[in-house]
A and B are shown apart, each in its own frame.
Chain A
Amino acid sequence: MSRFPAERRPDADGRRLAVRAQALYLANLLILPGLAFAALLWLRRRRAGVPLLAQAHLDAALHASLWALALLPGVAGLLVLVAGLRAPATWMTLILWVVSMHTALVLWGLLALAAALAGRLPPPPWRGRISG
């Protein structure tokens, strides 16, 4: 996890917003799917005016959420469509896929939240963009 550029050290507001973005990402995955995502979009509406650290975390949280949408309901739905619900292999692959992917996405969220708390950029693969 790289350090934030020295000349652009985040202030407390930037860190708070970054933490909120990552908390909403995790909430979307864990307790409030959809609602937390809507809140994240709302938080991101004035992205250009927020501190740089927060911009990076808002972007990263949004990209990770979209990937989660593709990897979880997207791939799972595709699998069910292709293989059908009656085969035991479908269930085995489906459960293993969903558990592993969901866990990996939550784990990324934990590391990103820890990075936000420490005033650092999000970890790979979703680093976010810094503009302005």
Chain B
Amino acid sequence: MQYLSQKVAKPYFVAAIGLFAGQILFGLIMGIQYLVGDFLFPAIPFNVARMVHTNLLIVWLLFGFMGASYYLVPEEAERELESPLLAKILFWVFLIAGALTVVGYLAVPYASLAKLTGNDVLPTMGREFLEQPTITKVGIVVVALGFLYNVGLTILKGRKTVINLVLLTGLAGLAVLFLFSFYNPDNLVLDKFYWWWVVHLWVEGVWELILGSILAFVLIKVTGVDREIIEKWLYVIIAMALITGIIGTGHHYFWIGTPEYWQWLGSVFSAMEPLPFFAMTVFAFNMVNRRRREHPNQAATLWALGTSVMAFLGAGVWGFLHTLAPVNYYTHGTQITAAHGHMAFYGAYVMIVLTIISYAMPMLRGQTAANSRRSQVLEMWSFWLMTVSMVFITLFLTGAGILQVYLQRYSAQPLPFMVVQEQISLFYWLRLIAGLVFTIGLGAYIASFFVGRTEPEAVAMKSVPVTA
């Protein structure tokens, strides 16, 4: 670790992993509720479990992005963080606000929570993924502003690289677009229109900038390839992400009451959305193929390569699968959407956060460059368990979705929603089994931080001959 202030990343990473475990727990609860409808009812109704599952995902990824920024920005800017103290204070503010919000979801009926937190003064609650009480949203804005001030000043006063500028652009976009969560018009079409400016433009817009910059940073470190080469790739990837992703928002406007031209715009631009992920996969493997050194942290390299592949599959292929308007006419809101959502979030964002944690954590815990071989082997097991089970979760949900579309929306005698749910329950059983395997993988991941602590670090890097 080159700068002392990089240490503030550690609590962010620890919190991220803890909340990740919470998210998976609620995912399992819901997986059971799909099959046993009254499981844990009325203590944890399905809608509450779902809200906690998705909100925890967003919060822990934000913790991961912040930790990643606090780790990589000083190294890129070649100076200490502007204010490590502010980073520590914001950590606790964000953690406490997040924990109180989850406790609120679980302990108080949602309508009461809205009343209790003054939602009637500035109504923002009640919308998918943005269920947080208004006061929590204000807290998120405060944390984001403090975070941007801290990271932004560090970059502006230090060395400006493509990586830290792309990262800063992504983070600033994340903060600015979140402000649309405060706009809650009565007109349902307008509401949905701008709601997607937060949800879509985060995950298919500015978050891709954050993903690209973290991936580029880790690849420079583990491969030793020239920064100039990696930066050129990064430019291409983020340009393609923004060109396709911004107007690609149109694939959410097909059936919400917006003009018909969105069906063309949304279909054409979102059909091109796999391109940045396509480029990212070629980029990551090309850099590793051209590596100038063997980094001892093989687990981090595996996560980096895995991110590119799984992001391509989840966000690229499974996104394309149901993005054309004539296909989406049948598939919207079915289990095909769930299949895409699971693999895309895991492949693009969960894995990139785990990549930077895998790369940075050994240094943050006092190692020179990597964990012991034993620890890395367990971590790589966790990679395969989580990744393969996520592939199966996606395939089972896709199977369920295809059958659902056929029985509920396509056949000559369409069946009611709940009747179809009974018919596709086999897929839900299989998905639950895959979910349990994923949980075992997560357990192995957490255990990898504790095994082999007393053993020597994996072997140091050595030069490898460069081809051509």
Interface of A with B (CB < 8 Å)?
Answer: 1, 3-4, 6, 9-12, 15, 88, 91-92, 95-96, 99-100, 103, 106-107, 110-111, 113-115, 117-120
Report if B234 contacts A (CB, 8 A): no
Please tell me which one of the listed residues A91, A107, A115 contacts residue B289 in the complex, with CB atoms under 8 A apart.
Answer: A115
Q: Let me know if B467 and A4 touch, CB within 8 A.
A: yes
Given A107-B309, A107-B312, A110-B281, check contact A117 B402 (CB 8 Å).
no
Given A4-B467, A99-B398, check contact A117 B282 (CB 8 Å).
yes
Inter-chain contacts of B313 with A (CB < 8 A): 103, 107
Q: Let me know if A118 and B467 touch, CB within 8 A.
A: yes
Inter-chain contacts of B407 with A (CB < 8 A): 88
Q: Let me know if A96 and B399 touch, CB within 8 A.
A: yes
Q: What is the CA–CA distance of A109 and B395 in the complex, to the nearest angstrom?
A: 21
Q: What is the CA–CA distance of A95 and B281 in the complex, to the nearest angstrom?
A: 24
20 other contacts beyond A11-B468, A92-B406, A115-B285, with CB at 8 A cut-off? A4-B467, A4-B468, A10-B468, A12-B468, A92-B403, A96-B395, A96-B402, A99-B398, A103-B313, A110-B281, A110-B312, A111-B285, A114-B282, A114-B285, A114-B286, A115-B289, A117-B282, A118-B290, A118-B468, A120-B467
Q: Let me know if B281 and A91 touch, CB within 8 A.
A: no
Q: What is the CA–CA distance of A11 and B467 in the complex, to the nearest angstrom?
A: 10
Q: What is the CA–CA distance of A88 and B402 in the complex, to the nearest angstrom?
A: 9
Q: Closest B-chain residue to A95, C-beta based? A: B402
Q: What is the CA–CA distance of A120 and B467 in the complex, to the nearest angstrom?
A: 8
Inter-chain contacts of A106 with B (CB < 8 A): 317
Inter-chain contacts of A111 with B (CB < 8 A): 281, 285
Given A99-B317, A119-B467, check contact A110 B395 (CB 8 Å).
no
Report if B25 contacts A (CB, 8 A): no
Give chain B's interface secondary structure class: helix
Report if B350 contacts A (CB, 8 A): no
On chain B, which size bracket covers the interface?
20 to 34
Q: What is the CA–CA distance of A106 and B426 in the complex, to the nearest angstrom?
A: 30
Inter-chain contacts of A117 with B (CB < 8 A): 282, 286, 289
Cβ contacts B261-295/A at 8 Å (1 or 0 each) = 00000000000000000100110111001100000
Interface of B with A (CB < 8 Å)?
Answer: 278, 281-282, 284-286, 289-290, 309, 312-313, 317, 321, 395, 398-399, 402-403, 406-407, 411, 465, 467-468
Q: Closest B-chain residue to A90, C-beta based? A: B406
- What distance in Å separates the Cβ of B342 from its nearest Cβ neighbour in chain A? 15
Q: Let me know if A15 and B406 touch, CB within 8 A.
A: no
Q: What is the CA–CA distance of A4 and B289 in the complex, to the nearest angstrom?
A: 11
Please tell me which one of the listed residues A1, A107, A119 contacts residue B468 in the complex, with CB atoms under 8 A apart.
Answer: A119
Q: Closest B-chain residue to A12, C-beta based? A: B468
Q: Let me know if B309 and A92 touch, CB within 8 A.
A: no
Cβ contacts A to B, 7 pairs, < 8 Å: A4-B468, A12-B468, A96-B399, A100-B395, A114-B282, A115-B285, A120-B467
Query: Of residues B278, B285, B411, which shows the largest number of chain A Cβ atoms within 10 Å of its Cβ?
Result: B285
List 3 tightest A-B contacts by C-beta distance, closest first.
A118-B289, A114-B285, A119-B468
Q: Closest B-chain residue to A6, C-beta based? A: B465
Q: What is the CA–CA distance of A4 and B467 in the complex, to the nearest angstrom?
A: 8
Inter-chain contacts of B402 with A (CB < 8 A): 91-92, 95-96
Inter-chain contacts of A110 with B (CB < 8 A): 278, 281-282, 285, 312
Inter-chain contacts of A114 with B (CB < 8 A): 281-282, 284-286, 289
Q: What is the CA–CA distance of A110 and B290 in the complex, to the nearest angstrom?
A: 15
Q: Let me know if B403 and A88 touch, CB within 8 A.
A: yes
Q: What is the CA–CA distance of A119 and B467 in the complex, to the nearest angstrom?
A: 7
Q: What is the CA–CA distance of A3 and B467 in the complex, to the nearest angstrom?
A: 8
Q: Closest B-chain residue to A111, C-beta based? A: B285
Q: Let me know if A120 and B282 touch, CB within 8 A.
A: no
Please tell me which one of the listed residues B278, B289, B309, B312 contacts residue A1 in the complex, with CB atoms under 8 A apart.
Answer: B289
Q: What is the CA–CA distance of A59 and B398 in the complex, to the nearest angstrom?
A: 34
Query: Of residues A10, A100, A111, A118, which shows the largest number of chain B Cβ atoms within 10 Å of its Cβ?
Result: A118
Q: What is the CA–CA distance of A131 and B383 in the complex, to the nearest angstrom?
A: 39
Inter-chain contacts of B286 with A (CB < 8 A): 114, 117-118
Q: What is the CA–CA distance of A106 and B278 in the complex, to the nearest angstrom?
A: 10
Please tell me which one of the listed residues B317, B395, B467 contacts residue A9 in the complex, with CB atoms under 8 A apart.
Answer: B467
Inter-chain contacts of A92 with B (CB < 8 A): 399, 402-403, 406
Inter-chain contacts of B309 with A (CB < 8 A): 107
Q: Closest A-chain residue to B280, C-beta based? A: A110
Q: What is the CA–CA distance of A127 and B362 in the complex, to the nearest angstrom?
A: 37
Inter-chain contacts of B411 with A (CB < 8 A): 88
